[in-house]
């Protein structure tokens, strides 16, 4: 997957435009786990929407497996930042729906959905509606909902953002386990640098907006398979964290200044 | 407050009110009767009238007519409201063209339509059904329109990423959302269906609760008017209870409904 010189401008309600992202280029190889970190409001979600084909760039190109992306990205699964489960469907129906839309008969889709619910540790929660699940459980249903379609590319937008520290760690390990089984290309957005390093092969830093772009790119020299809590004790983890944070701090401060000034 | 004490207090209110009514309409206080029986009747006479209606069985015919008109008005109004609501929500241009006319018709006090409906449809049930339909239609229409418009953009984006085509979006996203809005206004729309039927009967008919009240009024039979009102109130309470049951079953996935149950 390749994003080249992508630019995004939003029309503002009061007239005028806001250039959220400008000349952003990013490449994700097949089977690679890339994390994007940046200050809030810099355009991380926007970049994912571009990669998903939900938003068309004003300039630049997006290529998926060598072919330019013009419509919705059919190869991608997208785990949204906000709650995106269908509130009127049970957990099981929510997971099964991605297969049913593709023409799989319900009698076949439901058992497979149940398998996936078990895989994310929610085997007994199939008949619960989303509002009867905790935030972490909802995210796990969301993960199963996306993964059951077996997408080649996985886009994740701060999937563990609203969860508490322990749940995040459990979810992170769960994600790594699932990803290890069949390495998909992953684009993982987070504002948590530690999480980014612990999970990914590469960490990419975005500048504060407007006209945000990519300002740094680090390989993560940690071996796999990893356990998130153990990896954080590693010497290499700390060195990398210090390096990246040095660069990121300036952007975070800038990001704050922008929002304060606005 | 426990259920039992709440219930006994509620019954106490009824007993005190009836007792006051009886005393004030039967015994002179300081030389004159506060509630002259000619205008206020008294609970005994009203009770006797209700019992007489049920004993002789005449009331069933009138109840049935009112129920039939209400149900027809509700069904026809709902079908129309759902259809037009969907159509307008999915065709913003049509909605914009018709917008001022919809507002105009909705602003009209429906009572003025009753004579016209009688003229067109005669004194039978259909002129009452038509009056009810004009009330139910707009409630359902506005709610369905809102329901389709207010689908969460994230849920919609998720549905598209999960591979839904336009037809599947209708079935799995817009339709449930619209229905949930419609059902949340079920009490109001069913109530208005009854209002339409009774008002229509009152203004000119040969059967129904509204007719019964109107007849009693015509011969200054105050006991008959009050008796009609009590039967009507009981009728509405029963219908409302049925609606609550249906609602509870259909909206299990909604946090508010199950929340109030617990
Ligand atoms: N529809 C929109 N209209 C105008 N501005 C938008 C819109 N969506 C996002 N933005 C702006 O674009 C910037 C990037 O947003 P986003 O990608 O959501 O940031 P984040 O990095 O926190 O995910 C923000 O400054 C936001 O205010
Ligand atoms: Mg975001």
- Per-domain boundaries in chain B: 1-38, 41-250
Determine the average pLDDT of the residues in A156-179. Answer: 87
pLDDT bucket at A259, cuts 50 / 70 / 90: low
Which among A81, A88, A149 has the least Cβ separation from residue B253? Answer: A88
Question: Ligand 2 centre from A150 Cα, in Å?
Answer: 24
Any chain A CB within 8 A of the CB of B160?
A: yes
Question: Distance (Å, rounded) from C-alpha A1 to C-alpha A32?
Answer: 10
CATH number for the domain harbouring residue A49? 3.40.50.300
B254 inside 8 A of chain A by CB:
yes
Mean of pLDDT values over A209-213: 78
Q: Which pLDDT score, from 0 to 100, does residue A23 have?
A: 79
Q: Which residues of B touch A77 (CB under 8 A)?
A: 161
Long-range own/partner contacts, residues A168-172 (CB < 8 A, 24 or more apart): A168/A192, A168/A195, A169/A228, A169/A229, A170/A136, A171/A136, A171/A139, A171/A140, A172/A198, A172/A199, A172/A228
Does any CB of chain B come closer than 8 Å to the CB of residue A116?
no
- If pLDDT is split at 50, 70 and 90, which confidence band does A261 have? low
* Ion ligand 2 neighbours, Cβ < 5 Å: A 45
CATH of B41-250, one of 3.90.1720.10, 1.10.3720.10, 3.30.2270.10, 3.40.50.300: 1.10.3720.10
Say if strands A153-157 and A76-79 run parallel, antiparallel, or are unpaired.
Answer: parallel
For residues A7 and A60, the answer to whether their CB atoms sit within 8 Å is yes
Q: Whose CA is nearest to atom 17 of ligand 1?
A: A43
**3 state DSSP class of A77:** strand
Section A115-141 average pLDDT: 92
Torsion of CA A70, A58, A256, A190, to 10 degrees: 10
Residue with CA nearest ligand 1 atom 11: A20
- Contact (CB<8Å) A84/B173: no
Ligand nearest to the CA of A212: 1
Q: Scanning the structure block, which residue is given the tokens 């049925």?
A: B242
> Nearest-CA residue of chain A relative to B152?
A84
Contacts of A87 in chain B (CB under 8 A): 155, 253-254
**Contact A78/B157, CB-based, under 8 Å?**
yes
Interchain pair B254, A83: CB under 8 A: no
Mean pLDDT over A122-144 rounds to: 92
Tell me if A197 is assigned to some domain. Answer: yes
Contact, A212 vs A24, CB < 8 A? yes
* A152 at B interface, C-beta within 8 A: no
Domain membership flag for residue A30: yes
Are residues B157 and A54, on separate chains, in Cβ contact within 8 Å? yes
Task: Give the pLDDT score at A65.
Answer: 85
The answer to whether residue A77 neighbours chain B at the CB level (below 8 Å) is yes
> Hey, whose CA ends up nearest to atom 7 of ligand 1?
A10
Structure tokens at B137: 């239609």
Q: How many CA atoms lie within 13 A of B178 on its CB side?
A: 27
Task: Please give the average pLDDT of every successive group of 10 residues along chain B, which has 262 residues.
Answer: 91 94 88 85 91 92 93 94 91 92 90 90 91 94 90 93 92 90 86 92 90 91 92 91 87 64 38
ipTM value > 0.90: no
- The atom number, within ligand 1, closest to the CA of A158 reads 23
Contacts of A101 in chain B (CB under 8 A): 162-165, 168, 172
Which residues approach ligand 1 with their CB closer than 6 A? A 10, 12, 18, 20, 38, 40-46, 209
pLDDT of B260 reads 42
Determine the Cα–Cα distance for residues B172 and B14; give it in Å rounded to an integer. 48
Please tell me the least confidently modeled range out of A16-25, A122-131, A174-183: A16-25
Reference B118, options B130, B108, B109, B110; nearest CA is B130
Number of domains in chain A: 1
Average of pLDDT values for A74-98? 93
Beta bridge partners of A62: A3
d(CA B159, CA B165): 9
Give the chain B residue whose CA is nearest to the CA of A73.
Answer: B161
Determine the average pLDDT of the residues in A139-151.
93
Sheet with A2-11: strands ordered across: A17-27, A2-11, A59-64, A67-68
CB contact under 8 A, B253 and A149: no
Task: Indicate whether A255 pLDDT > 80.
Answer: no
pTM of the model: 0.81
CB A127, CB A92: distance < 8 Å: yes
Ligand nearest to the CA of A22: 1
Could you tell me the residue range of the domain that residue A209 belongs to? 2-75+151-261
Q: Are B227 and B53 in contact (CB under 8 A)?
A: yes
Q: Is B94 on the interface with A (CB under 8 A)?
A: no
What's the mean pLDDT when you consider all of chain A?
Answer: 87
- Report CA(A37)–ligand 2 centroid distance (Å): 11
A255 touches chain B (CB under 8 A): no
Give me the residues paired with residue B141 across strands: none
């Amino acid at each position: 997957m390749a994003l080249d010189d992508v630019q995004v401008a939003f029309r503002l309600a009061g007239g005028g435009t806001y250039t959220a992202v400008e000349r952003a280029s990013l490449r994700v190889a097949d089977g690679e786990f890339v994390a994007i970190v940046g200050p809030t409001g810099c355009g991380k979600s926007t970049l994912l929407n571009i990669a998903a084909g939900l938003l068309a760039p004003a300039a630049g190109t997006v290529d998926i497996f060598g072919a330019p992306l013009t419509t919705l990205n059919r190869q991608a699964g997208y785990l949204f930042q906000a709650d995106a489960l269908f509130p009127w469907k049970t957990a099981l129906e929510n997971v099964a729906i991605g297969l049913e839309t593709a023409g799989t008969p319900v009698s076949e889709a439901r058992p497979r959905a149940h398998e996936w619910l078990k895989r994310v540790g929610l085997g007994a929660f199939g008949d619960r509606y989303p509002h009867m699940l905790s935030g972490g459980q909802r995210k796990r249903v969301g993960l199963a909902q996306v993964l059951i379609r077996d997408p080649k590319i996985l886009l994740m937008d701060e999937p563990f953002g609203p969860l508490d520290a322990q749940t995040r760690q459990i979810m992170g390990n769960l994600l790594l386990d699932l990803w290890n089984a069949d390495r998909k290309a992953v684009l993982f957005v987070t504002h948590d640098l530690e999480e980014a390093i612990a999970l990914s092969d590469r960490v990419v830093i975005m500048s504060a907006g407007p006209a945000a772009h990519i300002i740094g790119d680090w390989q993560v020299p940690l071996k796999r398979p990893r356990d998130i809590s153990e990896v954080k004790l590693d010497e290499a983890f700390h060195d990398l964290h210090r390096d990246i944070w040095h660069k990121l701090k300036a952007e975070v401060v800038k990001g704050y200044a922008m929002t304060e000034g606005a | 407050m426990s259920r039992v004490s709440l219930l006994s207090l509620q019954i106490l209110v009824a007993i005190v009110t009836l007792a006051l009514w009886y005393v004030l309409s039967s015994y002179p206080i300081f030389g004159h009767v506060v509630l002259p029986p000619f205008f206020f009747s008294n609970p005994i006479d009203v009770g006797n009238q209700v019992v007489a209606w049920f004993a002789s069985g005449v009331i069933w015919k009138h109840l049935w007519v009112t129920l039939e008109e209400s149900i027809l008005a509700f069904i026809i109004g709902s079908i129309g409201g759902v259809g037009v609501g969907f159509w307008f929500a999915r065709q913003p241009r049509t909605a914009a063209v018709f917008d001022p006319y919809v507002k105009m018709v909705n602003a009209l006090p429906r009572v003025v339509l009753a004579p016209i409906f009688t003229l067109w449809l005669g004194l039978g049930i259909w002129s009452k059904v038509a009056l009810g339909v004009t009330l139910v239609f707009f409630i359902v229409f506005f709610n369905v329109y809102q329901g389709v418009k207010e689908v969460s953009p994230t849920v919609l984006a998720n549905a598209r990423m999960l591979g839904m085509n336009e037809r599947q979006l209708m079935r799995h996203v817009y339709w449930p959302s619209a229905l949930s809005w419609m059902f949340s206004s079920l009490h109001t729309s069913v109530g208005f269906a009854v209002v339409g039927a009774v008002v229509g009967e009152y203004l000119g008919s040969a059967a129904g609760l509204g007719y019964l009240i109107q007849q009693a009024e015509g011969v200054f039979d105050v006991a008959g008017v009050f008796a009609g009102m009590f039967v009507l109130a009981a009728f509405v309470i029963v219908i409302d209870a049925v609606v609550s049951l249906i609602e509870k079953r259909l909206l299990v996935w909604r946090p508010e409904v199950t929340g109030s149950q617990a």
